A = this chain, B = another copy of it.
Amino acid sequence: MAEVSPDISPLIGAITGLASGGKRLRALLNYWGWRGAGGEPLAAAPVLAGVALELFQSAALIHDDIIDRSDTRRGAPSVHERFSALHRTSGWDLDGERFGHAAAILTGDLCLSFSEEAFTAVGAAAAAGTRARQIFNAMRAEVMAGQYLDILEEVAGPSRPRGTAVSRAQNVIRFKSAKYSTERPLGIGGALAGASDDLLAAYAAFSLPLGEAFQLRDDVLGVFGDPRTTGKPAGDDLREGKRTVLVALALDAADPPRAAELEQGLGHPDLGPDDVDRLRGIIRSTGALDATERMIEELSGRAFDALSGLRVDRDVRDALEALGLAAVQRTA
| A contact residues vs B (CB 8 Å cutoff) | 1, 4-5, 7-8, 11, 59, 63, 66-67, 87, 90-94, 96, 99, 101-103, 105-110, 112-114, 116-117, 120-124, 126-129, 133, 137, 140-142, 144-149, 151-152, 154-159, 171, 175, 241, 267
Q: Shortest beta-carbon distance, A171 to chain B, in Å?
A: 6
Q: Shortest beta-carbon distance, A62 to chain B, in Å?
A: 10
CB-defined A-B contacts under 8 Å, sample of 19: A1-B145, A4-B142, A4-B146, A4-B175, A7-B149, A59-B109, A63-B105, A63-B106, A67-B101, A67-B102, A92-B156, A94-B154, A94-B155, A94-B267, A99-B154, A107-B148, A109-B112, A112-B113, A113-B141
Knowing A94-B241, A105-B67, A106-B144 touch, does A5 contact B155 (C-beta < 8 A)? no
Partner pick for A5 among B92, B126, B145, CB 8 A cutoff: B145
Least CB separation from A116: chain B residue: B116
Asked if A4 and B123 sit within 8 Å, CB to CB, the answer is no
Q: Please list the 7 inter-chain residue pairs (A to B) with the smallest Cβ-Cβ separation, ordered nearest first.
A: A92-B155, A67-B102, A113-B140, A110-B144, A4-B145, A93-B158, A120-B128
Question: Known contacts A63-B106, A93-B155, A93-B156; can you find 16 more A-B pairs with CB under 8 A?
Answer: A1-B141, A5-B145, A7-B149, A8-B149, A67-B101, A90-B156, A91-B159, A94-B154, A102-B151, A106-B147, A110-B141, A110-B145, A120-B127, A123-B127, A123-B129, A127-B127
Asked if A148 and B93 sit within 8 Å, CB to CB, the answer is no
Asked if B87 and A155 sit within 8 Å, CB to CB, the answer is yes
How many angstroms from the CA of A1 to the CA of B1 in the assembled complex?
35
Least CB separation from A171: chain B residue: B5
Please tell me how many copies of the chain the complex holds.
2
Q: Which residues of B contact A267 (CB under 8 A)?
A: 93-94
Q: Which residues of B contact A157 (CB under 8 A)?
A: 93
Q: Shortest beta-carbon distance, A44 to chain B, in Å?
A: 11
How many angstroms from the CA of A110 to the CA of B147 in the assembled complex?
11
Q: Shortest beta-carbon distance, A306 to chain B, in Å?
A: 23
Q: Shortest beta-carbon distance, A10 to chain B, in Å?
A: 9
Partner pick for A159 among B11, B59, B92, B127, CB 8 A cutoff: B92
Most B-side CB within 10 Å, residue of A154, A155, A175: A155
Q: Shortest beta-carbon distance, A287 to chain B, in Å?
A: 26
Q: Shortest beta-carbon distance, A183 to chain B, in Å?
A: 14
Most B-side CB within 10 Å, residue of A102, A127, A159: A102
Q: Which residues of B contact A7 (CB under 8 A)?
A: 148-149, 152
